[in-house]
Chains A and B, each alone.
Chain A
């Protein structure tokens, strides 16, 4: 029995066809997708949000916007930081980041709120020199109220960790490490252009474990160009020997306008296999079986952990629906019913901070109550289910009333079970989980081509591209239940995410 089977045990009658006309791959969701540019800063913030109010729980995301190199199909924003760094960009950035952290924390809203989770991501969080990493961590603790049991994740790349940095992290408040491994095989890392060496990841994981640091999560990718089932099995075998308590798997995708897309389009590189084809399905099955055999549970879509090691960052962001303060270029925040984005220009960010201001570049309109409910639901479904009581405690209304039409369609297609205390994805619903999530998108967000012209970065651009389609492109007409089964086709530019903030 696999982890998939634990989600629902009913059989799937494929002769009926597929529940949707096109399968959507969006392992990471941002909602609402559409945002628009504002010349924002302190003035906008203070005139739209009561920053003097008593704070509540929130998640703090700190963005380190640098990478050493750019992976070939990376859809994220990253500013390349030369190893020589002759212009001292890292120092300038860290200085500005610290000022920015202090400035946000000076508002009662964030000074009195309790930080439930801290995440240093990027870019590459681990790229900072140890002394700078220490300054950032110390500033977080000196300026915010951090919950005693808060999880504090440092995301990064094994290549960045020397003995000094490992020693520091182990002794610091950082209590979780997230490594972008992608593969343990040199030939695959070269194909995707990862900055680290094949044996770096295993070496660094062991060095952390030897110092007693266990809470390590790693990302693996499957179906990269040239990836075979045998290579994938080798990756999973290495994984099984490392005894890490958490891992995620991501389907590799070719993003438009990346060098990987150019290489493929010019015939210089083989296209990845069809994600609906037998090899990719076998890869997924293999991952589920390895996970099962080594005591992992798939507690949210494509996230596997051993007991007690669920990502708390995802928990607070997605399951509990907590506000997020994202600081640094390329970060997104969500609080008081607004999504706010800080654009990716590192130098502009530094300049703005040095001018005693904030860089707020894009916002969503204030989310009406309905959209906030949708936002909660699309995130909660990453955990396969929505509990009525929790929903009621947050919004004061009944989930089954608020989304009666959507639930009727999903149940008719066999994608959810409606239970007494919750709805839950069926096995078919898990296979089509992104389409299921799209059922909860607000009608106003479909066919939104205007947002394509707004500044978007990281996966928001991918979300906006998805939302630029009409609803029926992904979901069909509301009265239709089944569609002709998908014919496997070549891989196309579709979203792919590892970790981002909201």
Chain B
């Protein structure tokens, strides 16, 4: 049996049946992680830690005291602070930073028995859609176009996590999603990525990009796994003032429940000019599948869809410009000396931040600066109100919304890189969900003409991840997506 081909659900059963040991599962993934090094998915590998945790799992299994995620080898996006393990957000400015604390979400995972394989690559400070802006180089997508061996991007910013899960070099991974950073790479890599409702998972200990948009979520092989992972990750955290004090339902129970009678919104504004035919075809197929499952597609209007990206590219950089002010060479990370305090700041931040981060910090500084605040930032916040209102309006007439996840399949490393705005367009379908604080999932639903995975997105009402998971599981069943990437090292 190839242990790395199992889902969390199956691995859990196998471990409890004692078909194999947690140590064996961990070793298989450690091997796959090593074999996947050419992908540059991991920034840090922590095999010893994984084996140590596996031994504890085995001891618990022996006593019949298994925890919900016992023995599940997980990759962690390097935006989550992990105690004693270098955490850099793929930035030079945090080089060598070893957090003396553990993020709430990862602590929740470990408490539930999961074990850490390592820290995965991302766009620097999660700013990007291709995992190419990190200080330690790009991550490769394990998929290849048919008959073309050029390396492709895994999407981003959680591209390292997506690539690791797709390549079978991690059973599951954590990601964060500010404008699509879980869902878009999940779509590019043929896996499931779930962005929960804002406030569902604690942000405590996650390096902030844009605080009002950031949300952690799972990246997994299937929908059930996403439910299992979210169950462990979620929960109210009194250390995060924006964490929602609401109970965590049994997400796994939602998987497999009928969607008969549900009304599924199909937003007409998502039919973009120039959208590739294959994306439209995929979307239509999704609509047919939910219809076949007894749900009713209804046309809805999300009027401001085309303005969401521009809104996002004011709000996110504004918050980031302030969130990233703490990287100043005084208390942690890189310091580049300077004669005066200001010179030290300018040198440190000038050399410590990469081009994309610099660009966004400057945009953010500008839109908040005297004389421009009202025209840019305040205006964007008002439009954000309207975007959230659009969704609220739509939900009076439907239970969930179905859209494509991204306007294209994965592109090659090097493409779109000289045009920031072309790059930003990757997130056109995902960004509105963050602005409204809603849950969204990407499910692999088919292959492009080039043989690359494409995802469909299900968007839910706030704190209704259960409906999202129900609909996603139906799509998953119908799509029967079973293609594997060319570089699935875990399967080799």
The yes or no verdict on A and B being binding partners is no
Seen from chain A, the residues whose Cβ lies within 8 Å of a Cβ on chain B are: none
